A and B are shown apart, each in its own frame.
Chain A
C-alpha cells in the first residue's frame, strides 16, 4: 500500500498529535492560568478543522486495508462534530472556572471523545467502529464523573458506565455473529458476502443484527434503551451534559448509517421493522414524559429521545432521501440542543445550576436578548417555522410519506404537536411569569457572542435551509 494514501487519515492523526501536546502542556499550567489549556484545546480543534479541509479527498477513499473510509458523509459529520465540540468548550469555560472544575482534564477528555467520534464517523469495519465507540464512551464516562465530590454526578456516571458496558457487550456480541456468518468485519465485504450467497440472510445473521440494533439504540438513547439518558443528562454537570448532548449524536448517526446502510443495507427489509418499533416508541415516550418534567436538563433529555425517534424514522425509510433527512435532522437538532444546554450554563453561576424550569421565569426582564435567543432555540426544537427545526421535521415526515407509511407520518405530526407544549411552556415562563431569581447574568463576552450566533443561526438556517438540504442530499446521494 502506498504510504501517501495515509494522508486521508490526517484529521485523526493531527488531532491525536494535538491531544498529546495539550496533555503535556497542561502539566506546566497553574490552576489560575487554565485558560492556556482552553486556548490550546481550541487551537487543536482549529488545526483538526484545517487538516479536514486541506486533505479532503475527491470522492470515496478506503485505506488501512479497508478499516478506514473517507467520503463526503464523513467530511460533513467530522466538520460538524469538531465545531460542536468547540462550541461546548466555549460555553463551558465560565461555569467550570466558577465551580472549581476548570481542569485540563475536561478539555483533554473532550478531545479524546472527539477523536473517538472521528474514528467512528470514518470507520469502514465493525472493528474500527467498536474501537471508536469505546474511545468515545470511555471519555464520556470519565466526563460525567469529573466532579467527584458531587453525589448525583457519581451516581449517574455509575449508571451510565454499567449500562454502557452492557450495551457495548451486546454490540460486540452482535459483531461477532455478523463476523461468524459473513466471515468479514469490513462493511463492503459483508455486503458482498450476503449478495453472493443469499442463504446467509437467515436466522443467525438476524440474531446478530438484533444485537447490533440494541447497541445502536443504546448509543442513540432510543426507547427501550433510553433509561440512562435522562439520569445522565440531569446528573452530569451542565457543561458535560452539553458535551454529551451535542457532538456524540453525530457519531451515533454515523454508527447507524455505517452499520445499517453501508454494512447491512441489503438486510433493509429485516432491520426496518426493528428500527420502526424503537423509533415509534421513542417519539411517543420521549415527548409524553417530557411534559411532566420540572428539571430542564431532564426535560431536554426526554425531548432528545423524541428527536432520536424522528432521526430513526428517517433512517427506517431506507431511501437516499430518508438518509439525507436523517443527516439534516441530526445536524439541525444538535445546533438547537447545543444552544439550549448552553443557555442552561449561561444562566448558571458559582455554586448554582439553573437547571430547573422555574429558573427561566422572567428571563425577559433580566435579559431580553437572551430570552429571545432561548425562544428561537425552543421554537426550533418544537419545529415551528421559520426556524430550522421545522424543516428537519418536514423532511423526515415527507421521507416517511414517500415510502407509503401515511399512519406513521400522521403519528409524527401528532407527537410534534404534543412536544410543542413543553417547549412553549419555557417561552411562557420567560415572558409571562415573574422572575424568582433576579441575579445578573455572569458570563464572559465570548460565550455571549457565540450564544447569540447560535440563536441567530437557528433562525438564519430556517430562512435559508436550501443549501444545507442540498448538501445532505448530495452527500448521501
Chain B
C-alpha cells in the first residue's frame, strides 16, 4: 500500500508539473508535448485506481489521435506566440483570481463530501482479483446508461449530416480525374486519324489545325467535377 501511495504522489506531482508546463511554455509544440505527458500521468492514476480500460482509452484516443491532430493544427497554423503570451500576462490577475476561487470551491467540496457516510466516497478499497473493469464498464454502458449511449450515437450521426451539409460543394466546371474511365479508354477514343489528300507544298499550314486535334477532354476520362458526387469533398 505504501508503494502505491508513493506512486500516486509521484504521478500526481508530475501531472501538476506537466499541466503548469502546458500553460507556461513559450513554444506551442512544447505545450502539446507537456499535455501528452499530463494525459499519460492521468492514465497512470487511473491504472492505480484499477480503471485499466479508461487508462488505455485515454492513451489511445487522446494521446494517439487527438494530440497528434493538435500537433498537426499547431504546426500548420503559424501561431504567433509573442502576442499570445502578451495576452496571457495581461489577463493573468483575472485568471489567477478565477482559478483561486475554483480551487477554493473544489477544496470545500472535497471537505463537504469527506464527512458523508457514502461508502463509495470513502477510502479506496482494492477490488478482488477477478474484477474486470472493462466488463463492469460495458455492463453499465449497455444497461443503465443505454439511453444516453444511444443519444450519443444519434449526436454522431447528426454531426455527420451537419458536417456534410456545411462542407459539401459541387463546383461546376472543375476538372478532376476519373480513374476508371482512364483505365478503360481505348486507343481509338483518344486519337482520331483524319484522312487527308496530299497537297502541294506551298499550301501546307493553311489547313485548320483543329481537325488534327484530339477529342474533347471528357472522352479521355477527364470529367467535369459535378458528375462525381461523393468524391467532391473539400
Interface set of A (CB-CB < 8 Å, partner B): 9, 16, 23, 64-65, 67-68, 103, 105, 108-109, 112, 115, 119, 127-128, 131-132, 134-135, 138-139, 141-142, 145-146, 148, 177, 180-181, 183, 197, 199-200, 202-204, 207
User: Which residues of A have CB within 8 Å of B103?
Assistant: none
User: Which residues of A have CB within 8 Å of B1?
Assistant: none
Within 8 A of A (CB), among B82-119: 105, 108-109, 112-113, 115-116, 118
Name which of A135, A138, A145, A204 has the most chain B CB atoms within 10 A of its CB. Answer: A204
User: Which residues of B have CB within 8 Å of A9?
Assistant: 147
Choice from B116, B158, B159 contacting A197 with Cβ under 8 Å: B116
Give complex CA distance A148, B34 in Å. 38
> Given A181-B112, A183-B118, A204-B112, is A131 in contact with B151 using a C-beta cutoff of 8 Å?
yes
Quick check: is B154 within 8 A (CB to CB) of the other chain?
A: yes
Choice from A23, A105, A127, A139 contacting B148 with Cβ under 8 Å: A127
B152 near A207 with CB under 8 A, answer no
A132 near B151 with CB under 8 A, answer yes
User: Which residues of B have CB within 8 Å of A180?
Assistant: 109, 113
> Given A67-B145, A181-B112, is A131 in contact with B152 using a C-beta cutoff of 8 Å?
yes
A463 to chain B, nearest CB (A): 41
User: Which residues of B have CB within 8 Å of A203?
Assistant: 105, 108
Nearest-neighbor residue (CB-CB) of A202 within chain B: B112
Give complex CA distance A197, B116 in Å. 9
Choice from A16, A138, A183, A207 contacting B162 with Cβ under 8 Å: A138
Name which of A109, A119, A135 has the most chain B CB atoms within 10 A of its CB. Answer: A135
B46 to chain A, nearest CB (A): 17
B151 near A142 with CB under 8 A, answer no
Nearest-neighbor residue (CB-CB) of A131 within chain B: B151
A183 near B121 with CB under 8 A, answer yes
Give complex CA distance A315, B84 in Å. 43
User: Which residues of B have CB within 8 Å of A103?
Assistant: 165
User: Which residues of B have CB within 8 Å of A134?
Assistant: 155
Give complex CA distance A426, B166 in Å. 35
A142 near B162 with CB under 8 A, answer yes
> Given A67-B148, A128-B147, A138-B159, is A146 in contact with B165 using a C-beta cutoff of 8 Å?
yes
A119 near B151 with CB under 8 A, answer yes
Quick check: is B127 within 8 A (CB to CB) of the other chain?
A: no
Quick check: is B146 within 8 A (CB to CB) of the other chain?
A: yes
Give complex CA distance A16, B154 in Å. 8
Quick check: is B144 within 8 A (CB to CB) of the other chain?
A: yes
Name which of B118, B151, B155, B165 has the most chain A CB atoms within 10 A of its CB. Answer: B151
User: Which residues of A have CB within 8 Å of B143?
Assistant: 65
Nearest-neighbor residue (CB-CB) of B167 within chain A: A148
A109 near B108 with CB under 8 A, answer no
Quick check: is B161 within 8 A (CB to CB) of the other chain?
A: yes
A181 near B148 with CB under 8 A, answer no
User: Which residues of B have CB within 8 Å of A138?
Assistant: 155, 158-159, 162
> Given A148-B166, A183-B121, is A108 in contact with B148 using a C-beta cutoff of 8 Å?
no
A139 near B112 with CB under 8 A, answer no
User: Which residues of B have CB within 8 Å of A65?
Assistant: 143-145, 147
Nearest-neighbor residue (CB-CB) of B146 within chain A: A64
User: Which residues of A have CB within 8 Å of B147?
Assistant: 9, 64-65, 67-68, 128
Choice from B151, B158, B169 contacting A128 with Cβ under 8 Å: B151
